[in-house]
Amino acid sequence: MRFLEKKLARFGELFAPGKPLEKFYPVYEALDSFCLTPGTKTVQAPFVRDAVDLKRTMMFVILGLLPCLGMGVYNTGCQILLAKGEAVTFASCISLGLMKVLPIMFVAYAAGGFWEVLFAVVRKHEINEGFLVTGMLYTLIMPPTVPLWQVALGISFGVVIGKEIFGGTGYNIFNPALVSRAFLFFSYPAQFSGDQVWVALDGHTRATPLAVLSNAGTGSRAVMALQESGYPFSDLFWGFIPGSIGETSTFACLLGLMFLLITGVASWRIMAGCGTGLLVTAGIFFLLQGPDRLTFFSLPPHWHLVLGGFAFGAVFMATDPVSSCATNTGRWIFGFVIGILIVLIRVVNPAYPEGVMLAIVFMNAFAPLIDHLVVERHIKKRTELMALRSGGV
Amino acid sequence: MKIIKIQKGRDIPLKGAAEEKIVSLPLPQTVAVQPPDFHGLRLRPVVRIKDKVLVGSPLLEDKTDSRIKVVSPVSGIVSEIYRGEKRALLRVAVQCDGQQKALRFSRYSLKDISALSSKNIIGQLLAGGLWPFLRQRPFARTARPEDCVKAVFVQAHITEPLAPNLDFLLQGKEEAFQLGLDILKKLTSGKVFVCCSPQARSQALTEAKGVEVFGFSGPHPAGNVSTHIHCLDPVRKGDVVWYLGAEDVLRIADMFSQGQFNPQRTVAVTGEGASTRLYYQTVLGVPLRHLLMDPFLDEQRFLSGSVLRGTDVGPDGYVCFYDQQITLLPRGGKREFMGWLHPGWNKYSFSRTFLSSLQKRHPERHVSLDTDYHGGHRAIVLNHIYDDYVPLDILPYFLVRAILSGDLEEAERLGLLECVEEDFALCSFACPSKFDVGGVIRRGLRMLEEEG
């Protein structure tokens, strides 16, 4: 390690004050602390510190995303082969998938990283590792058919408008990956509406599961309609359906969820809130089904869990600690309302087939208000309790 | 004894506790009182270099209330009046002559003491230099004699890492302790609370009469004064409570029964860096060198107090006024290859992001920590972790936000008056963004104090 330390120190001299690369010090700092822990020492109490830092925390979110990425790569290739009608082998799925996913990921990291570094240099702050997560999340919610220039445009908008103008990671109001996606969604509805499937093969069209249900008219045969269109429950659960890269597999999301909960990186309350909100609302619709009601009403609630981007959104997007609520009660409410909104947009909104992204971005905007109300209630309860306790027990 | 269970918080099982054995030390060559220890007092020296002083002779007095004095713990000659930047008074040192001649104050028999009025008691505490041992909440500053106090808290339980066992120190001192408590009772119209460990065995605590004895079980900060006050008699706007350490109760008793200032202080030498770890009976303001038998290792940090709350005084420093513990901590700062990917079988963390969290939490397993930061400063991202380490009915994240945005009114409504920075030491410890939560709280309290 001494060798690396010396090399880095010598390289770092180029970035010292007064040297030509002084302005790019954040880049050096990022590289340096990527290779070696900073090694700074405490100067005031508390003199000992926990071994965890933000790099490691963010690293663990990325580890949690790996099942979704792996599944996404496999499935992207698999869908192409299925659409072509060719034989599906593991190796060909992976290689085809990598050819589609890697360029998207590369462009997302490169374009987003450019803005991240630019802002770090101009505003003289450290390059924040939160960007690594944003880039990965963004890649996983891209359709595999997306043109690469749109990838670059979307992440640029998300990083600059969604995050940096608020002051960078930790100060953003909206989830930057979702802001990017929403920007593309409204700018290029032809490619992003979600009515037609995203299989990376020219000329292939087929309705998505949510579009199948939206277009099914009235009646009570939602499950049958899905199955007839080639979407059985198991395929939806394991993720062998066309869709955005990382969102199709509920199973992979469950693996990520378990990892995030075991390591304690994400808040379980938001996820639980999302699940409860979704199931309760879908349950109410299920009870209201009838021959003259929309077919979507008759979809059993648990099907909602595996449809569209719900699992991915609830596990990885809604739980972003910066843009969600920061009180425990608030987290429950935040998640619960997201669950409700998702079902409402899916079932009774004729404009958009899927509502996960919109529901989360919408609730991001309301998170501070929810927190404010919860904190006010806390203060009120606290004042009463203090008055009660004051003067001895 | 009534038991109060504290759920939130966490103990850091640090290596290097002191063995429960008290060793009496001879007098040190010099001792020092350090004005920065006394928050809320503006002290000026009342002695000059080479002045002769006795035990209990005033060295410093408060500029706003000259009745409040800080006195010499030894007899001898004033050897140093040290000022730092902007002529701030940092230290007054006294060279011991070894005779410990003491200044005499009025002595009272037990019967006389019970007849004393609170005015007499306050007068004697001020004259005898015992006043600075009484501190107040809010703001954790030295008490004001004219305040109307609603309760007095005696801290007989410290839960900080490697903290001295006060129950052990009080064993066999029940008479003096009871006398001290009786005197304290006269200072308040409310109650006197003695807060100790639920396992306390010393009769001084278990048999204390006329006061409320509470056992606080659970992890740190179960022993913090803020936790005690919050659970038993919370401070609202306009309220004042006083608090003091258990050993200082004995000191107050001695002032009345013997008529002189008792300068004794028991200091626990702790921390992995110290080779002999014992309790030493010595005097207030003792230099660290006097307590450490071994030649110094360079790679150490010398803290007066615990790792969570202490001050780095260096090898030539003196034990701070209120501290009963010194900690020798290994210096950190070794750079590691790709720490963010390290499996971390031997890393200590509250989070579950290292393999070490799979190891069973064994009561005998102690960890070795140094002063490494383990990361760089970032904005707060994980805002849900603070809640687990603050047992007060407070939302730490929102309190910090209110202070940072300068909204003191909101901060006060969120409970700023109830806490001091030490209550958030575990938050600063655990924060992955390495955010100095305690520092923000301190800043908020300062601003609030200045506003009046």
Q: How far apart are CA A283 and CA B286, in angstroms?
A: 72
Digit-coded pLDDT (tens) for B131-179: 999 999 889 999 999 988 999 999 999 999 999 999 999 998 989 999 9
Digit-coded pLDDT (tens) for B50-88: 999 999 999 999 999 999 999 999 999 999 999 999 999
> What mean pLDDT value characterizes chain B?
90
pLDDT at A80: 87
* Residue that wins the pLDDT comparison between A318 and A200: A318
Mark B185-214 as b/e (b = at least 16 C-beta within 10 Å).
bbbbebbbbbbbbbebebbbbeebeebbbb
Tokens of B221: 């900060």
Q: Is the bond preceding residue A46 a cis peptide, omega within 30 degrees?
A: yes
User: Strand order of the sheet with strand B43-45?
Assistant: B43-45, B58-62, B69-71
- Please judge whether A170 and B428 are an interchain contact, meaning their C-beta atoms are less than 8 angstroms apart: no
Label residue B332 by pLDDT band (50, 70, 90).
confident
Label residue A243 by pLDDT band (50, 70, 90).
confident
Q: How far apart are CA B285 and CA B282, in angstroms?
A: 9
- Please judge whether B347 and A51 are an interchain contact, meaning their C-beta atoms are less than 8 angstroms apart: yes
Indicate whether B215 pLDDT > 70: yes
- Among left, alpha and beta (phi > 0; psi -120 to 50; other), residue B387 is alpha
Residues facing residue B53 across a β-bridge: B76
Indicate whether B440 pLDDT > 80: yes
Nearest Cα residue in chain B from A393 = B232
Distance of CA B133 to the CA centre of its chain: 11
Indicate whether B364 pLDDT > 70: no
Indicate whether B414 pLDDT > 60: yes
Digit-coded pLDDT (tens) for B237-277: 888 999 999 999 999 999 999 999 999 999 999 998 888 89
With contact defined as beta carbons under 8 Å apart, do A158 and A134 qualify?
Answer: yes
pLDDT at A202: 66
Indicate whether B342 pLDDT > 90: no
Q: What percent of chain A has pLDDT over 70?
A: 96
- Please judge whether A57 and B351 are an interchain contact, meaning their C-beta atoms are less than 8 angstroms apart: yes
Tokens of B144: 């004001």
Comparing CB atoms, the residue among A46, A59, A322 nearest residue B428 is: A46
Indicate whether A179 pLDDT > 70: yes
Indicate whether A391 pLDDT > 60: no
- Looking at A200-214, A294-308, B28-42, B143-157, which range is the least confident one? A200-214
Which of A42, A262, A369, A370 has the most B C-beta neighbours within 10 Å, making it the best mutation to test the interface with B?
Answer: A42
Comparing CB atoms, the residue among A1, A48, A387 nearest residue B371 is: A48
Comparing CB atoms, the residue among B422, B429, B438 nearest residue A49 is: B429
pLDDT at B55: 93
pLDDT at A376: 95
Q: What percent of chain A has pLDDT over 90?
A: 45
Indicate whether B214 pLDDT > 90: yes
Digit-coded pLDDT (tens) for A199-237: 766 666 677 888 888 877 787 788 888 888 888 888 889
> What mean pLDDT value characterizes chain A?
87
Indicate whether A392 pLDDT > 60: no
Indicate whether B353 pLDDT > 60: yes
With contact defined as beta carbons under 8 Å apart, do A345 and A352 qualify?
Answer: yes
Instruction: Count Cβ atoms below 10 Å from residue B141 Cβ, excluding itself.
Output: 16
With contact defined as beta carbons under 8 Å apart, do B207 and B171 qualify?
Answer: no
Measured between beta carbons, the chain A residues lying within 8 angstroms of B161 are 48
Q: How far apart are CA B346 and CA B364, in angstroms?
A: 16
What ipTM was reported for this prediction?
0.90
pLDDT at A203: 64
Indicate whether A194 pLDDT > 70: no
- Please judge whether A392 and B190 are an interchain contact, meaning their C-beta atoms are less than 8 angstroms apart: yes
* Residue that wins the pLDDT comparison between B337 and A271: A271
Distance from CA of A10 to the nearest CA of B (A): 16
Q: Is the bond preceding residue B145 a cis peptide, omega within 30 degrees?
A: no
* Residue that wins the pLDDT comparison between A193 and A85: A85
- Please judge whether B353 and A56 are an interchain contact, meaning their C-beta atoms are less than 8 angstroms apart: yes
Measured between beta carbons, the chain A residues lying within 8 angstroms of B153 are none
pLDDT at B375: 85
* Residue that wins the pLDDT comparison between B326 and A88: B326
Comparing CB atoms, the residue among B311, B374, B398 nearest residue A375 is: B398
Digit-coded pLDDT (tens) for A100-140: 999 999 999 999 999 998 998 888 888 888 889 999 999 99
Indicate whether A330 pLDDT > 80: yes
User: Strand order of the sheet with strand B52-53?
Assistant: B30-33, B89-96, B76-83, B52-53
C-alpha dist (Å) from residue B10 to A4, A273, B230, B354: 37, 28, 18, 17
Measured between beta carbons, the chain B residues lying within 8 angstroms of A170 are 378-381, 433
- Please judge whether B379 and A385 are an interchain contact, meaning their C-beta atoms are less than 8 angstroms apart: no
DSSP B344-379: -TT---SSS-SGGGGS---TT--B---SB--S----
Digit-coded pLDDT (tens) for A245-283: 988 899 999 999 999 999 888 889 999 999 999 999 999
Which of A1, A5, A49, A369 has the most B C-beta neighbours within 10 Å, making it the best mutation to test the interface with B?
Answer: A49
Q: How far apart are CA A117 and CA A125, in angstroms?
A: 9
3-class secondary-structure state, position A267: coil
Comparing CB atoms, the residue among B429, B432, B439 nearest residue A53 is: B432
- Please judge whether B307 and A49 are an interchain contact, meaning their C-beta atoms are less than 8 angstroms apart: no
